[in-house]
Structure 1
Amino acid sequence: MPPRIQRHEKIIALVREHSFMPIEQLARELDVTPQTIRRDINQLCEENLLRRYHGGATLGDSLENEDFNAQKAKLQSEKAHIADLIAEHIPDNASLFLSIGSTIEAVAMALVKKRKGLCIITNNIHVAAIVSGRSDYTVIITSGVVRPIDGGVTGVATVDFINQFKTDYAVLSASGVDADGSLLDFDYKEVSVMQAMMENARMRYLGVDHSKFGRNALVRMGSIGEFDAVFTDREPDEAMCKRLEEAGVKCLIADNGK
């Protein structure tokens, strides 16, 4: 295999592992010049395998879609138990925002089974499809541009739409939770939508499985301390538990039956 092809495979593997890789770090890892890495990234971007950001790269649409489908298939049981626990903390006849992601889709399925009379505002066409079968629900889907990878609706119009409402709850997820408590995602447009949901809800719930703790992503959504409760399937490490306690955030652990 030509050295360039081998290098491309290693670059993709490193970006996939770390979610975002700076050019300088890739150059050190592969023992080549930053100029070589820039040329490699440009070619991989042309093939839609990577997406370039200032100073580095993330996965491109083709690999991101592949990874999203793989991620969605992982930890299904854990996400279902997290979703059940969240549904127990949403009363009947409540109004709520539901964002994007496989955990939030699981929340939608749990709500349909457990709760009546809900008003749900979502930027997730999959969530809208799940909850729209309930005749006692009011389901509102935001305006905006649909992302083909996950059915998320994003954009300036989405934020403007959300700002018209004030709900009882916002139920959100995140792509990663940094050690300092920062909530991270890959798409700044989606982050803007989730921030609007946070600002326009009286109670904020975060649902994240254990794999999200310590996972990197490029865009900061906010802090875990801005939520009223965090729902997960394993207790976070001691430092994170202390951070949550100091911020007055409840950490609720779903019983996964193990």
Structure 2
Amino acid sequence: MPEWSQTVPAAVRREQIVSIIERQGFARVQELSRALSVSEVTVRSDLDLLAEENIIQRVHGGAMSGIKSTAHSPDYERALTRAVTEKRRIGNAAAALVESEMAILLDAGTTTLALARALRAREDLRGVVVFTNSLTIALELGVAEPHHITVVVTGGTVSYKQRSLIDPLGDMFLGSVHSDLCFIGCNGVSVTGFTNSSLPEVTMKRRYLDSAARRIVVADSSKIGKSQMIQVAPLDRIDTLVTGIEAPPLELEALREAGLTIELA
């Protein structure tokens, strides 16, 4: 067995396993063992751990992408099972842009949830205030120890689809807030702009953009080159797009030529 396989950190190896499974939909233990040059015992151990974390679904002889009953789960829960490792990298890269004493706006979504988890792990931060309309993110950050992050929830009507709060109260609240940074997600990124499929969510995203000095979009690679029916903002309204290295190179080149600053994670 090659020497390099003995030196690759377990976390990196598991990311590779998840990437293979997400790409193929299913992978056998023997296949993963050959691809990563590690023993089948090691692969089984990794798969068991990933299954416990609900990142993959363990089945006889290997593993599948997603968790059990995904097809019958709400949209938000299905999204939690997609591109997990990529979203984690995006979240880490975006969280690195936050500094102590900043006020930030954090949109609802699964990629922004990964960002929130990365912020929670940033023990170097002090005095950060997070405004969010995401119930999931509020709970994630509200129990952080030590309490280096203050969480303020916008208020509004509960959206079951996104586990978030939308108009009317949230819209009025955000009109009185000014932040250093805002992080929003979207369903599509193309040369025509940033787009989404839900009008109530778009309204909140636009309010975030209006209330921030610097505007950042976080979106996994599956959103790049796609377009939805409602525009959130044109490309020149956003300062930076943070996406994964899996994003299509030709689409990234077109976006850069259109003037968009892109950070790959």
- Amino acid aligned to 1:201: A
Query: Aligned partner of 2:165: which letter?
Result: V
Q: In the TM superposition, what whole-angstrom CA distance separates every residue of 1:152-210 from its partner, at most 9, and x where no partner exists?
A: 11113211100101100001110112x33321112111101110110110011111110
Residues 65, 149 of structure 1: 8 Å contact kept: no
- Distance in 1, matches of 2:191 and 2:254, equals 11
Which of 223, 231, 248 is the matching residue for 1:220? Answer: 231
Q: Is 1:91 aligned with 2:103?
A: no
Q: Does 1:68 align with 2:80?
A: no
Q: Gapped runs of 5+ residues in structure 2?
A: 1-70
Shift of 1:68: 3.3
The residue aligned with 2:171 is: 159
Cα distance change on mapping 1:238 and 1:190 into 2, 3 Å: same
Contact between 1:187 and 1:219, CA under 8 Å: does it hold in 2?
yes
Query: What's the offset of the Cα at 1:91?
Result: 1.1
Aligned runs of 1:132-171 on 2, under 5 Å? 132-134=142-144, 135-171=147-183
| Distance in structure 2 (CA, Å) of the matches to 1:226 and 1:237 | 22
Provide TM-score, normalisation by structure 2. Answer: 0.67
Q: Give the match's secondary structure for 1:189.
A: helix
Give the Cα separation in 2 of the matches to 1:214 and 1:72: 21
Aligned to 1:111: 119
Query: Does residue 196 of structure 2 align to residue 185 of structure 1?
Result: yes
Q: C-alpha deviations, 1:53-100, integer Å up to 9, x for none?
A: xxxxxxxxxx89634322220111000000001111111221100001
Secondary structure at the residue paired with 2:86? helix
Question: What does the per-residue CA deviation read over 1:27-60, in whole Å, with 9 as the maximum and x for residues that have no partner?
Answer: xxxxxxxxxxxxxxxxxxxxxxxxxxxxxxxxxx
Distance 2:222 2:133 in 1: 24
Deviation at 1:139, TM superposition (A): 1.0
TM superposition shift of 1:104: 0.4
Residue 175 of structure 1 is matched in structure 2 by 187
Q: Could you tell me which amino acid in structure 2 is paired with residue 74 of structure 1?
A: R
Tell me if 1:243 matches 2:255.
yes
Aligned to 2:13: none
CA distance in 1, matches of 2:149, 2:234: 31
Q: Which amino acid aligns with 1:107?
A: L
**Helix, strand or coil at the partner of 1:198:** helix
Letter in 2 for 1:155: D
SS at match of 2:121: helix
1:165 to 1:136, Cα distance in 2 relative to 1, 3 A: same
Q: 193-202 or 126-135: which moved more?
A: 126-135
Residues 224 and 251 of structure 2 are in contact (CA less than 8 Å); yes or no, is this contact kept in structure 1? no
Identity %: 20
How far the C-alpha of 1:245 sits from its partner, in A, is 4.7
Q: How many angstroms does 1:222 deviate by? A: 1.0
CA contact (8 A) 1:181 1:243 kept: no
**Cα distance in structure 2, aligned partners of 1:98 and 1:207:** 11
**In the TM superposition, what are the counterparts of 1:121-132 in structure 2 within 5 Å?**
121-132=131-142
The answer to whether the Cα contact below 8 Å between 1:205 and 1:227 also exists between their aligned partners in 2 is yes
CA contact (8 A) 2:194 2:232 kept: yes
- Deviation, 1:242, is 4.1
Unaligned runs of 5+ in 1: 1-62
Counterpart-to-counterpart distance in 1, 2:72 and 2:242: 26
Give the residue type in structure 2 aligned to 1:176.
G
What is the aligned-residue RMSD (CA, Å)? 1.9
